[in-house]
């Protein structure tokens, strides 16, 4: 079974980059990315490839090479589905904000809408690939919808979870640790479908990195991977608070622990907390699944990872208030960084959102600088929390175009995203233009310790 036409429903942080790389590596396959968001598709088709809606190092070059050749972006979802041999579903699966499972379970309404649209449009057999992060057994629900609402065509459901880290997504796609493909490997048709997707990735990924499993193992593996990574972040952040009380330095502890070959050094850097679209959502999903099976101890174990992360964000914001003589009312606080990590413009669940919200509740005046996040996104993130009116958010939080504009005449500076440019700032200039005493809070342990002797800052870094 040779794939000639691929459709991807969803032009977001997963669908866009993944399909761009597939198109670049498989020039004989036509790849069409569809989305009902006209503005997003317009941005993907912008003549200036630097204006595509997602910032990832190297992505614009990949899109430039393939777009118009065998990579297309469209709002005509029905046409792309009809033409495709293989359909990737890469739509948002946010945590539910209503009903049963509110605050924990994944909201699968967009997945179901995709399934019903595929069933309505399809006239010949299709391979449907789950690319979104989904609860275990979602493939079963997909198949029930497709088999019972369609035109009598046959569908094979595959699970192909993404393991991309934003900021390195293109490199992760080009050189993956593994590509996981789950399917109905106990049937001939299922094996053929799995092999068809294996053949796509085999254009550039060595066969030994192409791991095939049953669907359920594939779905659960994605949740497990993110849970394990988030657990490491919360573990080192828990130790950072103990380090502050005992006089230990969390960087030294992290190095000592990470040199143990059984543990390794990755994801052992203390910070103001993890963010992004996946970690919290996937752990909450895992908690909900565990509770639904009556596995309350399992659920409690994983929920603690989230509780620790929330605690770290509150603790950092509270430290700012405490250090500034227990009040920040009317004081200008500069926040450097709004994206949840460097080299991306994604702000979902960014720690900066919650630190800013805490400080605004304390009547601070906030000024933000981030090199890639747009002003309207920053306000949208705060408005979503619904802590105060949109007008008040805009009155008391300003977004500026340079870091020095943010820090000028400020009482304190907090580094919340580990952008490389913050390492290169003229920190003596920053200090000179701040109100005194000048406070620097390093939420990413990005900077060398700026002691009074070196520059003059009252300096705080997590874990020391």
CATH of the domain at 278: 3.40.50.720
Q: Examine the fold and report which residue of 205, 240, 275 is the final residue of a domain before the chain moves on.
A: 205
* Sign of the Cα pseudo-torsion (187, 192, 193, 195, in order): positive
Q: What is the pLDDT along the chain (464 residues), one digit of tens a residue?
A: 799 999 999 999 999 999 999 999 999 999 999 999 999 999 999 999 999 999 999 999 999 999 999 999 999 999 999 999 999 999 988 888 899 888 888 888 888 999 999 999 999 999 999 998 777 777 788 888 888 877 789 999 999 999 998 899 999 999 999 999 999 999 999 999 999 999 999 999 999 999 999 999 998 999 999 999 999 999 999 999 999 999 999 999 999 999 999 999 999 999 999 999 889 999 999 999 999 999 999 999 999 999 999 999 999 999 999 999 999 999 999 999 999 999 999 999 999 999 999 999 999 999 999 999 999 999 999 999 999 999 999 999 999 999 999 999 999 999 999 999 999 999 999 999 999 999 999 999 988 777 777 899 999 999 88
Does 133 belong to an annotated binding site? yes
CB contact set of 351 (below 8 Å; sequence gap of 6+): 271, 272, 273, 274, 275, 312, 313, 316, 340, 416, 443
Task: Please tell me the distance from the alpha carbon of residue 127 to that of residue 357, in angstroms, as a whole number.
Answer: 44
Q: Are residues 106 and 198 in the same domain?
A: yes
Cβ proximity of 250 and 462 under 8 Å: yes
Structural domain that includes position 303? 222-464
Q: Residue 215 falls within a domain, yes or no?
A: no
Q: Residue 286 falls within a domain, yes or no?
A: yes
Q: Are residues 100 and 234 in the same domain?
A: no
Does 437 belong to an annotated binding site? no
Cβ proximity of 241 and 315 under 8 Å: yes
Does 413 belong to an annotated binding site? no
Q: Residue 347 falls within a domain, yes or no?
A: yes
Does 342 belong to an annotated binding site? no
Does 447 belong to an annotated binding site? no
* Chain mean position to CA 216: 23
Q: Are residues 192 and 240 in the same domain?
A: no
Does 163 belong to an annotated binding site? yes
CB contact set of 251 (below 8 Å; sequence gap of 6+): 270, 445, 463, 464
Does the N-terminal peptide bond of residue 437 adopt cis geometry, omega within 30 degrees of 0?
yes
Does 191 belong to an annotated binding site? no
Q: Residue 357 falls within a domain, yes or no?
A: yes
What amino acid positions are annotated as catalytic residues? 278
Q: Residue 210 falls within a domain, yes or no?
A: no
Task: Please tell me the distance from the alpha carbon of residue 327 to that of residue 310, in angstroms, as a whole number.
Answer: 22
Q: Are residues 190 and 246 in the same domain?
A: no
Does 422 belong to an annotated binding site? no
Q: Examine the fold and report which residue of 205, 238, 272 is the final residue of a domain before the chain moves on.
A: 205
Does 228 belong to an annotated binding site? no
Q: Are residues 243 and 271 in the same domain?
A: yes
Task: Please tell me the distance from the alpha carbon of residue 272 to that of residue 314, in angstroms, as a whole number.
Answer: 9
Q: Are residues 85 and 231 in the same domain?
A: no
Does 15 belong to an annotated binding site? yes
Does 164 belong to an annotated binding site? yes
Q: Are residues 129 and 228 in the same domain?
A: no
Q: Residue 360 falls within a domain, yes or no?
A: yes
Residue 102 φ/ψ, nearest 5 degrees? -50, 130
* Sign of the Cα pseudo-torsion (127, 28, 163, 166, in order): negative
Is the backbone of residue 326 left (phi > 0), alpha (psi -120 to 50) or beta?
left
Task: Please tell me the distance from the alpha carbon of residue 303 to that of residue 432, in angstroms, as a whole number.
Answer: 44
Instruction: Please give the pLDDT value at position 310.
Output: 97
Instruction: Please give the pLDDT value at position 140.
Output: 82
* Chain mean position to CA 36: 21
Task: Please tell me the distance from the alpha carbon of residue 72 to that of residue 34, in angstroms, as a whole number.
Answer: 8
Residue 436 φ/ψ, nearest 5 degrees? -110, 145
Q: Are residues 153 and 240 in the same domain?
A: no
Q: Are residues 246 and 151 in the same domain?
A: no
Q: Residue 211 falls within a domain, yes or no?
A: no
Q: Are residues 178 and 252 in the same domain?
A: no
Of 253, 271, 317, 247, residue with least CA distance to 445: 271
Q: Are residues 201 and 249 in the same domain?
A: no
Does 120 belong to an annotated binding site? no
Instruction: Please give the pLDDT value at position 448.
Output: 77
Instruction: Please give the pLDDT value at position 449.
Output: 72
Q: Residue 216 falls within a domain, yes or no?
A: no
The helix (run of H) or strand (run of E) holding residue 156 is: strand 155-159
Q: How many domains does the chain contain in total?
A: 2
Q: Examine the fold and report which residue of 153, 173, 205 is the final residue of a domain before the chain moves on.
A: 205
Q: Are residues 163 and 31 in the same domain?
A: yes
């Amino acid at each position: 079974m040779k794939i000639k036409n691929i459709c991807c429903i969803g032009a977001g942080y997963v669908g866009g980059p993944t399909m761009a790389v597939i198109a670049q590596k498989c020039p004989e396959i036509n790849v069409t990315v569809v989305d009902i968001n006209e503005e997003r598709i317009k941005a993907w088709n912008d003549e200036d490839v630097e204006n595509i809606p997602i910032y990832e190092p190297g992505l614009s070059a990949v899109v430039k090479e393939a777009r118009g050749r065998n990579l297309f972006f469209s709002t005509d979802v029905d046409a792309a589905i009809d033409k495709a041999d293989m359909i990737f579903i890469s739509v948002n699966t946010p945590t539910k904000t209503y009903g049963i499972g509110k605050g924990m379970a994944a909201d699968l309404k967009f997945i179901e809408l995709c399934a019903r649209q595929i069933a309505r449009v399809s006239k010949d057999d299709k391979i449907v690939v789950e690319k979104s992060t989904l609860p275990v057994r979602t493939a079963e629900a997909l198949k029930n919808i497709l088999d019972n609402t369609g035109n009598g065509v046959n569908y094979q459901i595959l699970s192909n979870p993404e393991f991309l880290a934003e900021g390195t997504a293109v490199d992760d796609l080009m050189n993956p640790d593994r590509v996981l493909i789950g399917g109905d490997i106990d049937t001939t048709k299922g094996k053929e479908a799995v092999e068809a997707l294996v053949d796509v990735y085999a254009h550039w990924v060595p066969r030994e990195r192409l791991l095939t499993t049953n669907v359920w193992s594939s779905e659960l593996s994605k949740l497990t991977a993110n849970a394990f990574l988030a657990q490491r972040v919360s573990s080192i952040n828990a130790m950072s608070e103990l380090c502050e009380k005992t006089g230990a330095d969390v960087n030294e502890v992290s190095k000592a622990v990470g040199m143990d070959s059984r543990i390794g050094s990755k994801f052992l850097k203390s910070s103001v907390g993890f963010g992004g679209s996946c970690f919290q959502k996937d752990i909450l999903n895992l908690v909900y699944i565990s509770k639904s099976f009556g596995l309350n101890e399992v659920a409690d174990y994983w929920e603690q990872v989230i509780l620790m992360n929330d605690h770290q964000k509150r603790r950092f914001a509270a430290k700012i208030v405490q250090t500034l003589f227990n009040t920040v009312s009317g004081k200008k606080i500069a926040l450097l960084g709004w994206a949840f990590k460097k080299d991306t413009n994604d702000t979902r669940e960014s720690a900066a959102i919650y630190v800013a919200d805490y400080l605004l509740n304390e009547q601070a005046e906030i000024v933000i600088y981030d090199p890639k996040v747009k002003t309207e996104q920053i306000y949208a993130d705060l408005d979503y929390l619904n802590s105060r009116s949109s007008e008040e958010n805009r009155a008391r939080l300003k977004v500026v175009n340079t870091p020095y504009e943010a820090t000028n005449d400020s009482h304190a500076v907090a580094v919340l995203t580990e952008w490389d440019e913050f390492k290169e700032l003229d920190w003596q200039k920053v200090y000179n233009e701040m109100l005194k005493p000048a406070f620097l809070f390093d939420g990413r342990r990005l900077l060398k310790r700026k002691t009074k002797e070196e520059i003059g800052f009252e300096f705080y870094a997590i874990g020391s």
